[in-house]
Amino acid sequence: MNLKWKLFANFAEVAGMREIEIETYKGLTVENAMESLFERIPKLREEIFDENDRVYEHVKILHNGGEIKQIRYNETIVFEGDELAVIPPMSGG
């Protein structure tokens, strides 16, 4: 099964790419998908997770365009062709 991650702004800079496709398994959760991403690009872990291994409040994780709250990361199953994204805080003005 293939899963696509889209990375924006500083996350894309750290990874050196804006998109990454990861070969995974069926029944994968968003939480598992993040671990797979960090296995491929370990430096992203410190950009996304705080010292308590929780996603920084200002970082948004999207599943097929909708924001996923951290409490649901281990409940939300991803399927073949789904898209996950990591979004940094947006500034207006």
Domains and CATH numbers, the chain: 2-87 (3.10.20.30)
Q: Coil, strand or helix: which one is 57?
A: coil
Digit-coded pLDDT (tens) for 24-69:
888 899 999 999 999 999 999 999 999 999 999 999 999 999 999 9
State the pTM of this model: 0.89
Q: Which of 83, 91, 92 is nearest to 7 (CA)?
A: 83
* Residue 68, strand partner residues: 61
**pLDDT at position 93, please?**
47
Smallest CA-to-CA distance from 33 within 62, 58, 5 is with 5
Nearest-angstrom CA–CA distance, 5 and 22: 8
